[in-house]
Amino acid sequence: VLTPRSGRIVAARKLLRRSARREQGLVLLEGPSAVGAAADAGLIQELYVTADAAERHADLVERIEAAGVRPWFVAPEAAAALSETVTPQGIVAIVPLPQVSLQHALERPALRPAARLVVVLAEARDPGNAGTVIRTADAAGADCVVLAGASVDPWSGKCVRASAGSLLHLPVVDGVGVEETITAVRAAGCRALAADGHAEAGLYDLAVTDVLRGDHAWVFGNEAHGLSSDVLRTVDSAVSVPVYGRAESLNLASAAAVCLYESARVAGGPSGRGWDT
Amino acid sequence: VLTPRSGRIVAARKLLRRSARREQGLVLLEGPSAVGAAADAGLIQELYVTADAAERHADLVERIEAAGVRPWFVAPEAAAALSETVTPQGIVAIVPLPQVSLQHALERPALRPAARLVVVLAEARDPGNAGTVIRTADAAGADCVVLAGASVDPWSGKCVRASAGSLLHLPVVDGVGVEETITAVRAAGCRALAADGHAEAGLYDLAVTDVLRGDHAWVFGNEAHGLSSDVLRTVDSAVSVPVYGRAESLNLASAAAVCLYESARVAGGPSGRGWDT
């Protein structure tokens, strides 16, 4: 049973830092959803699990073992040492850092979906919000998510946890500037729509619905400051989620859920966003 | 300048406990959004503010003073003592605990809105989620929110903060059992719809759209366990938010945002959810 001072745990713990993740090309994934998604994708290189968690997630651990990865049993303190969350979940995997270029993420697949849906988070600073938006983007059938500009690292513990495995379900790109991202998205044939509480055009306006029928990208701004006027000048249109009551605004993840599902609804659901035959 | 040991701060600090809030009929509201909403409603009994926050929110403090409430200047440590959040915001008000009965919240107003929208959270345990749903319910034009069963206290610091003032914008009821709430909602003429990822009926099915045109209530379950089969038996229908990608589900606040805005969209926005003439 490994302790926080075991060499493997000391080495793995370094991956809590973004710089070490980049350098080694490896990330830590904590919790059954993320580890399960990594197992589905055949990505697990190492698995650390407490006796308790091995019992709670016996099926998952068995599945990973059957795929040829022998789990390391660790003390609860060692699992906690690999966790960035308040309640460590006792199951942590090391997987290769998925490296996807923006260009590649924006390529239209050979069997192309009827309409592409791209999600851009500009300067998103809260890892919980970012992870939640990645999860919602996955659920809504988005093609990729870009964490642009000085956004949080998608592979930080809190973001991984909030994404509930979705980080491994669709390409997530980071490290590209916001305006560069919007330029690339538009060059790839997507209309860029900024979600902006002050925009005149409302989400349910007919002209917006028309845009949602084609390839498009939603751009969401920072939790506190929204989108800068520079960014607003680079998009095709700005769109507001209407507020019917007395709230000043929606929070970032809620606004994203409303916009992304309106895209999914307009596209006509699985068949609309599915594959051409 | 008051310190954490000043009598007023020691007394106010007691209101961090639910039992003291009930006993005294008072709650603490932290942060500029919540304090601003309380000022709009003329509810502020006491205001505690640090020198820094008084400068940052000079307009708000001035407005409260003009209404006859003299602010108490407090040391940052005293503001922190009244805060349940990691980053205290330096501005805290005491307001009377709004007491709304479920019966009263469900009454159709004299100038009745075209269709009523009620939100029920059953056994919601995360105060951040609950506050976010209250904020979204307000934005979507809902009539009231019920935190039913063993849900978190809406007046806990984290819920107040996540609600961004919306707790004071619409009636929020707690302390009523889940099944009792659903029975009352249905007796008041609202169709009860359970949001349930396993339901056959999808949010965008025509039959569901028809229900959303009339008075209805959305019932959302616990973050981890969803809704119990007992609760599912008491509602009129169960409805799933479709998942188009590979996510297993949406998180509670995102699912609520999608459902409540679909209700708002179907009702036709402010005119649809507005007042009959």
pLDDT of residue A268: 78
Nearest to B139 among A135, A138, A244 (CB): A244
Identify which of B169, B153, B158, B159 has the alpha carbon closest to the alpha carbon of residue B21.
B153
> Rounded to an integer, what distance in angstroms lies between the CA atom of residue A45 and that of residue A161?
19
What distances in angstroms separate CA A72 from CA A84, A95, A215, B241, one per listed residue? 19, 15, 45, 38
> Rounded to an integer, what distance in angstroms lies between the CA atom of residue B27 and that of residue B33?
15
Identify which of B48, B42, B38, B51 has the alpha carbon closest to the alpha carbon of residue B10.
B48
* Model confidence, pTM: 0.93
pLDDT 10s digits, B120-133: 999 999 999 999 99
Closest-CA distance, A139 to chain B, in angstroms, reads: 5
Cβ contact, residue pair B261, A241, below 8 Å: yes
> Rounded to an integer, what distance in angstroms lies between the CA atom of residue A26 and that of residue A19?
11
Helix boundaries (H) for chain B: 7-13, 18-24, 32-40, 51-56, 58-66, 76-81, 102-106, 127-139, 157-163, 178-187, 206-212, 229-234, 252-267, 269-272
Structure tokens at A208: 């917006």
Q: Tell whether the model's pLDDT for residue B160 goes beyond 90.
A: yes
Ramachandran angles phi, psi of A175, nearest 5°: 85, 15
Q: Report the percentage of chain B scoring pLDDT > 90.
A: 90
Cβ burial of B186 (10 Å; 0-12, 13-18, 19+) is middle
Cβ burial of A201 (10 Å; 0-12, 13-18, 19+) is middle
ipTM confidence score: 0.93
- Collapsed DSSP state (helix, strand, coil) of residue B221: coil
pLDDT of residue A108: 76
pLDDT 10s digits, B13-30: 999 999 999 999 999 999
pLDDT band at B111 (very low <50, low <70, confident <90, very high): low
Strand pairing report for A26-30 and A91-96: antiparallel
Q: Tell whether the model's pLDDT for residue B270 goes beyond 90.
A: no
Cβ contact, residue pair B245, A140, below 8 Å: yes
Compute the mean pLDDT over every residue in chain B, rounded to the nearest whole number.
Answer: 93
Cβ contact, residue pair A138, B264, below 8 Å: no
SS (H, E, C) A111-170: CCECCCEEEEEECCCCHHHHHHHHHHHHHCCCCEEEEECCCCCCCCHHHHHHHCCHHHCC
A150 CB neighbour count, 10 Å cutoff: 12
Cβ contact, residue pair A257, B269, below 8 Å: no
Nearest to B139 among A243, A256, A257 (CB): A243
pLDDT of residue B222: 93
Residue listed under structure tokens 């959803």: A33
Mean pLDDT of B167-188: 96
pLDDT 10s digits, B61-85: 999 999 999 999 999 999 999 998 8
Closest-CA distance, B218 to chain A, in angstroms, reads: 16
- HSE-up (13 A, CA, CB side) for residue A219: 32
Nearest to A244 among B140, B166, B251 (CB): B140
Q: Tell whether the model's pLDDT for residue B253 goes beyond 80.
A: yes
Q: How many residues does chain B have?
A: 277
Closest-CA distance, B6 to chain A, in angstroms, reads: 32
Cβ contact, residue pair A136, B250, below 8 Å: yes
Q: Report the percentage of chain B scoring pLDDT > 70.
A: 95
Per-residue pLDDT for chain A (277 aa), expressed as one digit of tens each?
999 999 999 999 999 999 999 999 999 999 999 999 999 999 999 999 999 999 999 999 999 999 999 999 999 999 999 998 888 999 999 999 998 999 999 987 766 556 899 999 999 999 999 999 999 999 999 999 999 999 999 999 999 999 999 999 999 999 999 999 999 999 999 999 999 999 999 999 999 999 999 999 999 999 889 999 999 999 999 999 999 999 999 999 999 999 999 999 998 754 444 333 2
> Rounded to an integer, what distance in angstroms lies between the CA atom of residue A215 and that of residue A144?
12
pLDDT 10s digits, B132-150: 999 999 999 999 999 999 9
> Rounded to an integer, what distance in angstroms lies between the CA atom of residue A208 and that of residue A263?
10
Identify which of B119, B128, B124 has the alpha carbon closest to the alpha carbon of residue B156.
B128
Identify which of A109, A238, A102 has the alpha carbon closest to the alpha carbon of residue A172.
A102
Q: Tell whether the model's pLDDT for residue B171 goes beyond 60.
A: yes
